[in-house]
Amino acid sequence: MRRPLAAILATTAVLLTACGGGDDAITGAVLTEPYVVPSVSLTDTGGSSYSLADNTDKRLTLVFFGYTHCPDICQVVMSTLASAMTRLDDADRKQVDVVFVTTDPARDDAKALRDYLDRFDPTFIGLTGPLPTIIDVGKPLAVAIEQGERLPSGGYDVAHGTAVLGIDSDDKVSIVWTQGTSATQFASDVHHLLDH
């Protein structure tokens, strides 16, 4: 029987603290005080209710908050996650979901989200909802969301976090990956977490 991810991460945190990591160290930041995922419901691209607490039934769910009109980081992160998923074997891949939560619901309706995510991986889950509800989901996960400056094109930027959050089967975020984590690093971490 495999140990829960929370137990693996707790052990990993102790080992990293005790011996300063090493070649097999997890790239992601293991949180000593995990974020508790709220059970607030959003809506997936199929129109169904979806809660990051109640509907994430895989051993690990990788979550990123962003938006389809994002000029830079969102596309990079989603491409990296798509590449990371191709590096996993079938057994690992079946235990992982990737969820993209829009921070710009005014422009990211279900169709826009689905079209955007299908360019990376058609199995990726897209979530939208009223902006205040999305903010309520992000707040306990340390994801700040706010509309930024208007652009010369007439559009606008949306300020949002850049971390990828790892939700375990206990509905807690015990690990986060920062901007710049490579596909190889994601795949290695995911395999390590699922294999112990």
70 in a labelled binding site: yes
Range in 13-27, 77-91, 149-163 with the lowest mean pLDDT: 13-27
User: Tokens 């984590």 sit at which residue?
Assistant: 181
19 in a labelled binding site: no
User: Which domains does the chain carry?
Assistant: 5-195 (3.40.30.10)
Helix (H, G, I), strand (E, B) or coil at 34: strand
User: What is the spatial distance between Cα 47 and Cα 23, in angstroms, rounded to a whole number?
Assistant: 44
Chain centroid to CA 193: how far?
Answer: 15
Average pLDDT over residues 46-75: 92
DSSP assignment of 152-164: TTS-EEEE---PE
Average pLDDT over residues 166-181: 93
Residue 189 corresponds to which tokens in the numbers above? 């971490």
pLDDT the model gives residue 149: 55
User: What is the spatial distance between Cα 157 and Cα 67, in angstroms, rounded to a whole number?
Assistant: 9
160 in a labelled binding site: yes
Give the contacts of 133 (CB within 8 A, at least 6 positions apart).
40, 41, 42
Residue 106 has pLDDT above 90, yes or no: no
Tell me if 149 sits within 8 A of 11, measured CB to CB.
Answer: no
The amino acid that residue 73 corresponds to is I
pLDDT the model gives residue 162: 82
Q: For the chain, what is the mean pLDDT?
A: 84
Helix (H, G, I), strand (E, B) or coil at 181: coil
User: Tokens 């603290």 sit at which residue?
Assistant: 17
If pLDDT is split at 50, 70 and 90, which confidence band does 3 have? very low
User: What is the spatial distance between Cα 108 and Cα 90, in angstroms, rounded to a whole number?
Assistant: 31
Chain centroid to CA 99: how far?
Answer: 6
